[in-house]
Copies of this chain bind each other. A is one copy, B any other.
Amino acid sequence: MDINSLTERIYNRNKIAVSRAISVVESGNENSTLLLKEIHKKTGNAYRIGITGPPGAGKSTLTNELIKYYRKQNKSVAVIAVDPSSPFTGGALLGDRVRMSETSTDDGVFIRSMATRGSLGGLSKKTIDAADILDAAGYEIIIFETVGVGQSELDIARTADTTFVVLVPESGDSIQAMKAGLMEIGDFFVVNKSDRPGADSAIMALKTILMFRKHDENSWLPSILKTVASEKLGIEEVAEEISKHHNYMIDKNIFLARRKENSKLRIKEIVEDIIKNKIWTPERISDLNYKIEEVVEGLTSPYSVADTIIKDFKNQIK
């Protein structure tokens, strides 16, 4: 692979090159690392937005309307939509992707799905790698759209500059039962499909829960907005809230601090992934499968087996 020729075309926002580069980072091979090291100097300019929430909340429709909003402001937008591995919701998302394709002929819009299914962990790592490609390509807005059902989806949303959670009125009853992570991650909340009954009680339930979030007088207070994305209602307010959150972070000197913290977590994940790959060679896995028999029979303990593996690993990298 000719990295230099590829990076040049990425910097010129050539969609085919961008697409190819994302496939390279998805594969996670050596070229991926070379490419990411090379393009990093061109990153840091895009504003990254995380959109998450339960399946069926209308995240894709809302994303679609946000794209149109930013395009009217002449801003280029890239979307990374993370499909969940769950068979329960795969179908619905596929439909959403089709709907989103109406913007796909626009040169200032780039949409890419990334699948969790079959990914050996590291999905959040690869998603952030892909965002770096899009950032280097000059897209001004990068949207991560994830379904807030698993840890890695939450991890992805967390790496954004501003993250919001999309709910529906029907979520009201279940907000108490909802993954605490989803409640803690939102810089603000959107009750979509708010023309349905129960919108106001959903907002009340949300407010009650949000009161328990740690805060002091200087804290950013998460708003709750209403939208009907399918009728294009409330989209501008969402975009304004993103912008308000951005300005708040800059005013309070926490914008760069948040990026640094994310960057630190990212480096830790990269280091740990590389080391894990070095530990779990096929030989060591098959050795482990053999030792498990002895563990289950009580002849040796998990901690003794772990000791042996670590000793062997140390000898390997000597």
Contacts from A to B (Cβ < 8 Å)? 33, 36-37, 40-44, 54-57, 84, 86-89, 149-151, 170-171, 173-174, 176-181, 183-184, 209, 212-214, 256, 259-260, 263-264, 266-268, 270-272, 274-276, 279-280, 288-289, 291-293, 295-296, 298-306, 309-310, 313-314, 317-318
Most chain B CB within 10 A, of A177, A270, A280, A300, is at A177
- Taking a contact as CB atoms under 8 Å apart, the answer to whether B176 and A173 are in contact is no
With contact pairs A36-B303, A149-B179, A174-B171 given, residues A280 and B298 touching in the complex (Cβ less than 8 Å): no
B residues near A87, Cβ cutoff 8 Å: 212-214
Bound CA span A176–B279, Å = 39
> By CB atoms of chain B within 10 A, which of A41, A44, A89, A174 has the most?
A174
Given contacts A174-B171, A310-B271, contact A301 B36 (CB under 8 A): yes
A150 touches B180 (CB 8 A): yes
17 A-B residue pairs with CB within 8 Å: A36-B302, A37-B304, A44-B298, A54-B174, A54-B177, A150-B180, A171-B177, A173-B174, A174-B174, A263-B292, A266-B302, A267-B295, A267-B309, A270-B302, A271-B279, A271-B313, A275-B279
Q: Which residues of B contact A299 (CB under 8 A)?
A: 41
User: How many monomers of this chain does the complex have?
Assistant: 2
In the complex, which residues of chain B have a beta carbon less than 8 angstroms from the beta carbon of A276?
272
Residues of B within 8 A of A86 (CB): 180, 184
Given known contacts A88-B209, A256-B296, what 17 new A-B pairs fall within 8 Å (CB)? A37-B301, A40-B295, A40-B302, A44-B296, A54-B176, A89-B180, A149-B181, A150-B181, A151-B151, A170-B173, A173-B173, A174-B178, A263-B295, A263-B296, A267-B291, A267-B309, A268-B280
A41–B306 CB distance below 8 A = no
Instruction: Kindly state the separation between the CA atoms of A179 and B180 in the bound complex, as whole angstroms.
Output: 11
A-B interface, 8 closest residue pairs, ranked by CB to CB distance from nearest: A174-B174, A40-B301, A54-B177, A86-B180, A270-B306, A151-B151, A41-B298, A37-B301
